Structure 1
Amino acid sequence: MPGVTTITRVRRRGLFAKYVTSLVGLVVFVLAVNGALEIWFSYRQTRTALIGAMAEKAEATARRIEQAMTDLERQISRVTRASVPTLEQRRADYTLLMQQAPAISQLVLIDGQGREALRLTRATGATGAEDVAHDQQLAQTADKGVSFGGVSFRNRRPFLKIAVAHSGREPAATVAEIDLQFLSVLVGDAQTGKVGAAVVIDPQGRLLASSREADTLGDDVAGLRQVAALLRTPPQAVSSGQDGDGEPVLVASRQVARLGWFVLFEQPRSQAFASIGDLLLRIAGLIALGLIVAIVASMILARRMLVPIDALRAGASRLGDGDFGQRIEVRTGDELEDLSDQFNNMAGQLQETYAGLESKVEERTRDLEQSINELKALEEVGRAVASSLDLDAVLPTVAARALEITRADAVLIFSYDPMRRRFDLAEAKGIDAPAGGAAAYASIDADDSVLGDAANSGQPIAVPDLSAAPDHPLKELALAAGFASVLVVPLLDQHGALGALVVLRRSAGDFPDNLIGLMRTFAHQSELAMRNARLFHEVDQKGRELASAHDTVQQQAAKLQEQTDQLKNWNRSLEDRVEKQLGEIERIRRLERFLAPQVAQLIAASDGHDALLDSHRREVTVVFCDLRGFTAFTEASEPEEAMKVLREYHAAIGELVFRYEGTLDRFAGDGVMVLFNAPIALPDHTRRAVKMAVEMRDALDALTDKWRHRGHSLGFGIGIALGYATIGQVGFEKRLEYAAIGSVTNLASRLCAEAAPGQIVVSQRAYGTVENCAEARPIEPLTLKGFSHPIPAVEILLWRETSDVDADTNDTRAAASAGRAS
């Protein structure tokens, strides 16, 4: 039989190649898809995390820049609020400001006529009369109070002008030039990585600061894509762009809103995604390893499957030649071994009956043909099961071959859902008519049904005549569709039911045992297909979960290490800051026992100023004031009303004391004593004291009117004296006070006692220092207790500056003061 041998070899080589190619292709496809998904998700996560980190740094840097500019504005505004009469004093204030703010390179004072009155730079200082009336920045300052100019560059260094209008009546402004070189330090501290960069640009796209040493400040970078997007109206932030060399970079930006600047952080894409390249190499290695394992495994499995098939084919060939004494030896323990046993049984029966049963030759031939058909059907089903893990591709083949072998009218394959305890239709062959359509068998409950009984018993159930069988769901459906008999074969594994194979016939009658056995073989094939599909699904799911868990563990480990390092740094920094702040708080608490809060804060913040509290002799201005008629008022009023009046009184004068930087020496009841020029030296202390007294009198005039409406007759008197006193701390460790001892305090107290309601009595010496700023009226020398000679004094009527701008207002106040005196 040379021809038969040739055909067998060709088929064996084709089947072997098909098994190997299918298994290898499947493994490579799964690995490739998994690798592609892993690369994509890794890329997205890396990109999102990196851009988010750069955005946080850009936000923090923008806030630091805004805070730095706000601090400079506050420092400049502090010198504009002080009223300084001379340029030399203004020069001293400017000098102190430039010592405190190294970023300020130049200060210019512009008077009310728009002319430069004083210029102070870090090299020299000069006065002049240069006309700057047309300076647009100064025009904006008159309306806004504070104005920021544009950025200019000198020797590739950026500078910014800040103009601040002076407060009070002085029509002037201070223009400060800020050296923006400190911005490079801010962005350098926040730089991301060794090859990343942080830059600051102005609204014209010029470079103000950069963490790259190779960048030149002042260069126009508006042509870069990410910068051009920010300079549009409105600004449009982008996450990618290119650097000066045209290389692609990742970008995160934030705007410094008040100045219109932009902070950009850039990271080269080649550095950001370096880990993706390593991942590609690992995946390529994994695919290569999977390919090798798949090839070896497929060759072994294909050979193990083809050997018994070759034996079966060889046995069938010998049986066809009439060699009935030959037996096929197959020890695979599966359906192929059952098939070989059937071949052997068939050979034995043929050998027994061949000699005398010539009449049965035709029948046996038909049986052999049937067996061959069954073998081919089993081979086709086995090939379908081995070549695919997709139930949708395997079950149609099983159902079609079962329908062909059994010559039944319909074959149904059900899958079992243990959660809902029902059988769901997975495949149907032979049901085409609408009355018997597959939709009618879509779902059958396991309880009280022949499918559930077969699954529970683990054995096939044959119903030769459905009309005589007990009622169950399948019976009703089959009879309605015109079927008369049914065979149900359960699909089982070690865990329980997988489904059921159902054979339907339109004619009643028993099912042969060999047909039932063959259906069990088909059922085994269906079970194998279902188990393989479920196992593949579980392995694929576990693989994905394991890969995801591995990535999660690596990310969490990296984050934990980073957080641990940050926590160590924060702990060291926090210990130093807490120790320093505790010392400062203790100093402030000790000073606030006897000093005004702003004085205590100044001394605590300035090293070496504790000596100001030591006892020493100094010229001071003493202001003493109290309420007239307060003793009688307290005797006639309820204590609650008296306390309310005192609170209103203290609130009115206390704010003025702190505004004029006086030291509250005594605060007992309605009597208040205020020192000027101690402990902090004030060059215009008498002027401050007299001006404060005038504002106190005006404030108390409105307050006494309010009290008068409430039925209280109270007045307010003030005494002011200038002289030398011994200044220092008195008391003991747990209770300290800052006091002034000398005749000047007694004189201020006596002058206050002599003052009528609404009257300010000032010693002649004190008036001599402010006579150009105050309008007064002489009074008769006063004979005061404790003083051997009459004391010359004057009454302050109103306060006026050296200019006559408010002459009309001063006349009005003078008339009002004269009315009070009379």
Structure 2
Amino acid sequence: MPGLETIPRTRRRGLFAKYVTSLVGLVVFVLAVNGALEIWFSYRQTRTALIDAMAEKAEASARRIAQAMTELERQISWTTRASVQTLEQRRTDYTQLMQQVPAISQLALIDGQGREALRLTRSTGPGGGEEFWRDPQVARAAETGVSIGQTRFRNGRPFIVVAVAHAGRDPAITVAEIDLRFLSELVGDAQAGKVGIAYVIDPAGRLLASSRDSDTLGDDIASRRQVAALLRDPPQALASGQDGDGNAMLVASRPVAKLGWFVLFEQPRSQAFASIGEVLLRIAGLIALGLIVAIIASMLLARRMLVPIDALRAGASRLGGGDFGQRIEVRTGDELEELSDQFNSMAGQLRETYAGLESKVEERTRDLERSINELKALEEVGRAIASSLDLDAVLPTVAARALEITRADAVLIFSYDPLQRRFDLAEAKGIDPPTDGGVAYASIDADGSVLGDAAQSGQPIAVPDLSAAPDHPLKALALAAGFASVLVVPLLDQHGALGALVVLRRSAGDFADNLIGLMRTFAHQSELAMRNARLFREVDHKGRELASAHDTVQLQAAQLREQTDQLKDWNRSLEERVEKQLGEIERIRRLERFLAPQVAQLIASSDGHDALLDSHRREVTVVFCDLRGFTAFTEASEPEEAMNVLREYHAALGELIFRYEGTLDRFAGDGVMILFNAPIPFADHTRRAVKMAVEMRDALATLTEKWSHRGHSLGFGIGIAVGYATIGQVGFEHRLEYAAIGSVTNLASRLCAEAAPGQIIVSQRAYAMVEDWAEAQPIEPLTLKGFSRPIPAVEILRWRETSDAAADTHETRPAASAGRAS
């Protein structure tokens, strides 16, 4: 079969290998991802559980140590009762206290003059004659009641001094030296039977107690990462650290209240996460098992698919060779079987197509011959139209060729007389007037005839059976001449009807669409011939008229040349003025992008407005506004999001600033400053400023709600002040700005800083100028930076402008415009 080639048996890459590789890879990927997630969650759960357990133990140990020290203070305080009068009684109390509290190694009594009056030392203790109570922390016990000294170490044992002032009028102080070895027992009990260690450090990072016997008390371990983090100010949260050998440890810590000590529980990470290794082995086994199952399943699936695919390939090869009677047998019950059915169906369709191909070729050949004949007829008609402007020579050719192409019985061509509103016979083929009654067709009225209806609608009208059609002049004439059907095609141009092309048949029946289309083409040719003939007559008539008017045209030509020269001069002058004005407008537009429109127009103009930009003093209304929380927002957000928020914020404010004709002094991030009454004066400048601020607050309320939905917490505040300021240009030769300088700008800025989100604060003078239009409430006088006394201020609640006030505002606009024009 032409157009089909035998499918090659070679393949760049076998389907078997593709399916096996894909399925095995998918299974391994899924198992690997599942294993990674399981390891991660196991790690997180194990780590969290261990840290929480150690944190609970550290909290319990810190609480027990704090309770133990509190109990020691209470027992020492018992010996300071006021009823004891003699040293012997005090000695007896001290002896009893040392018997009850083994942790106390020494007790001493310091009298009101700071001398040691009594000292009692445990015989089994290390003893020592040093006056440890001279510690500055101990000396403060007289002021605070209880004072705890710094930790001391003797012979590898930690001690701490506790001083308690006596109650009542007795100015003496009892000083006790506490042996801190009991701390190791407390943390050792909490760590018993567990892997890891627990220890206590003092504020200097020295080891006070440890659950591990090999540790030396008093060692400085402040260099360890976790200890250094705790000793920082403020301390950092702990979750990991290192032991003395640099091994990674899990760490949990808690402070001991009032003492500045820290209890730490640690466990080696290698022991804590030993269970993770079992998870890894289990996952590796699952991956190996899944890999074996995937290989076996993919091999079976690939083999099951390759057998029908080979059958399809062989069948396609036979179809390519022209064997359309061969059937492809595939019984898989899936898409492959459906594909084989489609191949078989295609083979049957191809066989049927070949069977009917010859008849279709003959039919197409006949259509082609008919089309060629039609084109030849149209070509002949076109040559006749191009070669002659005489209708008597062109219309017979059109009618003869139309009669030949349509195989009708008669063709009539009528011309239309708009004055008489009738169609006159211009050419006829197939009708013999002397014998066939054709003379009756010489003239047909447009009103009430099918020719007039076709001309009015502009579309061909086909009457397949004249006997069943409504009565009209053409019907009676056609039936009388023996015709049974008629097709009327109007001849039209842009001015109206030119005539009609009528096709008559002696047999009834519908006219084919292609025949109607072909007759419309002949109608266009007839229209062209009629238009050409009419134009020829008109041109001939106009030629005679032009000959008579030639002399007049020559006379007027000289006048026209003179007027043309004047018009060229005027056009040249007008173009120069327009070009200059367009340049001025473009310059103003460029300036308005960087300056306030009022300032830009003054700078760009050259009609005396520059004086308004010179330094002068004037009363102005200054509006300051900015966003609350914008600095924190920019620190926590991406720069692109901050720029998006600023664009929305500036767009919302800018529309209101231009509407109320304020002068935008500057954009400084989220801060905006607007001037009113400069450089263009306004009689109602304060009212404009306050009303604009109320609308700004309403507009920003909607915008801040939108921002809050995006997770941004931003507010909007406004401050307004009225006063005199020096107005003009500031800067240097290459960079000038229009600015206002004076205390009024500082006041507006400070009022804006005091405004809460959604609040408008105005100076008392500004409120006095708008109190008839604005509803407000007084606030406490404000102490502002840069002002020596409190500033009275008012909060604007809402704008309640009446129709009369609105009319007054509109009346002030012409005055403002007049001020601008001046």
Normalised by the size of structure 2, how large is the TM-score? 0.41
Give the number of the structure whose alpha-carbon radius of gyration is greater: 2
